[in-house]
Amino acid sequence: MLKKRILVAEDDEDDQRLFHDFLHHRNDIILMPIAEDGEELIDELEQIREHTQLPDLIILDQNMPKRNGIQTLQILKQDSRYSHIPVCVYSTYADDTLVKICTEMGACVVISKPITKDGYNRMMDELFSVCNPS
């Protein structure tokens, strides 16, 4: 089984730690270094020279400084280098408006942040199912 490269933009240190603590055991993912915000995520992507090293899935927190999830999603989907990468936007509260805006902009799914190890594992399984990362 090929491992999926996951790139996350998350400014909250506790949520960053949850990603690492809850997902490090999975043998189907490679968790790339977590970006602090959307601006840093774009910078990280621009440093990748090999197309094969791009992430298979990007997860964006909606509420981040500098560039939030919507702003970062817009940049990703308008750039031909990254527009093919499935993007998930997640938030503490994913309301109907956020879901509508993000899906219209090209997000494969908008979900609420999980809070347990099982929740994180279910989230990753759902993302793999819905977003079909290559």
Q: What CATH number is associated with residue 91?
A: 3.40.50.2300
Domain with 82, as residue range(s), is 4-131
Q: Which of 9, 129, 22 is nearest to 76 (CA)?
A: 9
What is the pTM for the complete model shown?
Answer: 0.94
Residues with Cβ within 8 Å of 41's Cβ and at least 6 positions away in sequence, in order, are 7, 9, 35, 58, 60, 67, 72
pLDDT (0 to 100) of residue 133: 64
Burial class (CB in 10 A: 0-12, 13-18, 19+), 25: exposed
Q: For residue range 29-76, list pLDDT tens digits in order.
A: 999 999 999 999 999 999 999 988 999 999 999 999 889 999 999 999
Average pLDDT over residues 94-118: 91
Q: Which is nearest to 132 in space by CA: 109, 99, 112?
A: 109
User: How many structural domains is the chain composed of?
Assistant: 1
Q: Tell me what pLDDT residue 93 has.
A: 79
- Position 134 scores a pLDDT of 59
**pLDDT-above-70 percentage for the chain:** 98
Report the pLDDT averaged over residues 98-106.
94
d(CA 91, CA 72): 14
**What is the structure's pLDDT at 105?**
95
Which of 17-31, 62-76, 95-109 is least confident?
Answer: 17-31
